[in-house]
Chain A
């Protein structure tokens, strides 16, 4: 499934709403370009089918001191 234009716009809006007061228009424009790039990368990994049994490659082990 590809990222829609809507999702990219929403992501940019998220950044703009949260951090816009710290950023000028040039920086926001650059952020938009970088978001496009990150979303293209994410598109690629979303395109690979996975099954419920495909677990993250990090094993969590409950901690015990003794």
Chain B
């Protein structure tokens, strides 16, 4: 039952081939065995998991089937509040014992769907908000990609990517402010969906940047991402930024029109560029692909100033109390103080420019179903080395700057491997609220490729 999709497990559960308890116990054992090797787990939630699994089993026996996630084990990035004495550490040593009395909305919705929470997953401390410069930036240690223990899983949703890739859980929930779902998806060779901003409630999730944070699933397949998103999406009175409409997962098989930004392969690692070119050949079987150009505009600086200003405010109390000194990454111990220099008028300037950025993006993207690009400039970084000074995924990343600054949805899919055996990814970014379009393109891509069916050998038993 390892490395099965949600639909496959759902069928197996409904037919009685496997019970939720058996599935959960398998997951718990694997988390115990492999979690420490990967540094992908903060807390195994065994008691809660077994209780939820037994409840799922009883309900299903009585014919009360809640849907495809019923009885399926999942893990949550450790910024999602969980009640019942389960710590929610935010990856930060000074908050290692932090507890909340209520579950985050996403956690409640997955419980309502009958899914089984088996673990709180490792993350970069404070979701990378202090400006970390190396993989070892969490009190749980640097998280590895299951494809190579010498290479980083990516962050900040490190454990969310790693645990799915290693087959420890069926799916996870991560978060992205700028790169934190797509990056681990790339490095760990899994599918990761960053929904439109506001599609999923952020209530009960640690805030790094209130207008940039998005919660989304990391799974083995794009189809799984659609199923999970349907369970967690929807308006929430506790989060006024949520979109007022409900959302249903509906696929659409047709020919699509895609754009590729001119120069998108510049300064990309050879394997990344090569695999992206191969991916576009596959996509051309059912898509028209054209080159597009974005006008000159400080996209990165707009999004970065918003992030800097909001992060400074979000962690103001934490910073003023001097708690940064107890963080793991050396740069994080002083990083928050730097953001004091973002003046209110500059933050507001960035918000004013955001409107222009959103209109530029929409004017271009209206002519297309989606824009595609490599998910990352590089394969997974060595786990014991600091990042290069100009992190490729932080600067010059127009897809990330526009995608996150404008709140657009994007999905990363595995697109192949490098000569070192490290995964590469392709991202498909859509217009606001077009998750079904990008999921449709993604599912069709995965029907024509088999990268998502390959799994790291070390974890197949």
Q: A22-B325, A45-B350, A46-B349 are in contact. Are A57 and B337 (CB under 8 A)?
A: no
Q: Are A27 and B334 in contact (CB under 8 A)?
A: yes
Nearest-CB residue, chain B, relative to A48: B353
B235 in the interface (beta carbon within 8 A): no
Q: Are B351 and A23 in contact (CB under 8 A)?
A: no
**Size range of the chain A interface in the assembly:** 20 to 34
Q: Which residues of the partner chain A approach B211 to less than 8 Å between Cβ atoms? A: 58
8 Å CB contact of B301 from A11, A27, A34, A41: A41
Q: Are A38 and B351 in contact (CB under 8 A)?
A: no
8 Å CB contact of B352 from A28, A35, A41, A56: A56
Q: Are B341 and A39 in contact (CB under 8 A)?
A: yes
Q: Are B304 and A41 in contact (CB under 8 A)?
A: yes
Per-residue CB proximity of A36-66 to B under 8 Å, as 1/0? 0011011011111010001111100000000
8 Å CB contact of B337 from A15, A39, A45, A48: A15
Interface size for B (C-beta < 8 A) is 33
Q: Which residues of the partner chain B approach A58 to less than 8 Å between Cβ atoms? A: 211, 351
Q: Which residues of the partner chain B approach A54 to less than 8 Å between Cβ atoms? A: 352, 355-356
A15 to B337, CA, bound (A): 7
A42 to B303, CA, bound (A): 11
B385 in the interface (beta carbon within 8 A): no
Q: Which residues of the partner chain B approach A34 to less than 8 Å between Cβ atoms? A: 131, 335, 338
B358 in the interface (beta carbon within 8 A): yes
Q: Which residues of the partner chain B approach A48 to less than 8 Å between Cβ atoms? A: 297-298, 353, 356
Q: Which residues of the partner chain A approach B300 to less than 8 Å between Cβ atoms? A: 41
Q: Are A45 and B341 in contact (CB under 8 A)?
A: no
Q: Are B349 and A50 in contact (CB under 8 A)?
A: yes
B339 in the interface (beta carbon within 8 A): yes
A36 to B456, CA, bound (A): 42
Q: Are B334 and A31 in contact (CB under 8 A)?
A: yes
Nearest-CB residue, chain B, relative to A18: B340
Chain B binding surface, main DSSP class = helix
A46 to B353, CA, bound (A): 10
Q: Are A42 and B342 in contact (CB under 8 A)?
A: yes
Q: Are A38 and B342 in contact (CB under 8 A)?
A: yes
Nearest-CB residue, chain B, relative to A39: B341
A57 to B325, CA, bound (A): 35
Shortest CB-to-CB span from A55 to chain B, Å, is 6
Q: Which of A12-34 contact B (CB under 8 A)?
A: 14-15, 18-19, 22-23, 27-28, 30-31, 34
Q: Are A45 and B302 in contact (CB under 8 A)?
A: yes
B333 in the interface (beta carbon within 8 A): yes
A41 to B395, CA, bound (A): 11
Q: Which residues of the partner chain A approach B308 to less than 8 Å between Cβ atoms? A: 38, 41
Q: A41-B305, A45-B305, A45-B346 are in contact. Are A27 and B352 (CB under 8 A)?
A: no
A58 to B350, CA, bound (A): 11
Q: Which of B322-340 contact A (CB under 8 A)?
A: 322, 325, 331, 333-335, 337-340
Shortest CB-to-CB span from B336 to chain A, Å, is 9
Q: Are B354 and A57 in contact (CB under 8 A)?
A: yes
B348 in the interface (beta carbon within 8 A): yes
Q: Which residues of the partner chain B approach A46 to less than 8 Å between Cβ atoms? A: 346, 349
Q: Are A45 and B298 in contact (CB under 8 A)?
A: yes
Q: Which residues of the partner chain A approach B305 to less than 8 Å between Cβ atoms? A: 41-42, 45
Nearest-CB residue, chain B, relative to A12: B341
Q: Are B301 and A42 in contact (CB under 8 A)?
A: yes
Given A14-B340, A41-B308, list of 18 further CB < 8 A pairs? A14-B341, A15-B337, A15-B340, A18-B337, A19-B337, A19-B340, A27-B333, A28-B334, A31-B334, A34-B335, A35-B341, A38-B339, A42-B301, A45-B302, A45-B350, A46-B346, A48-B298, A55-B355
For this complex, 7 residue pairs linking A to B, each with C-beta atoms less than 8 Å apart, are A28-B334, A30-B331, A31-B338, A41-B301, A44-B301, A47-B298, A56-B355
A residues near B, CB below 8 A?
A: 11, 14-15, 18-19, 22-23, 27-28, 30-31, 34-35, 38-39, 41-42, 44-48, 50, 54-58
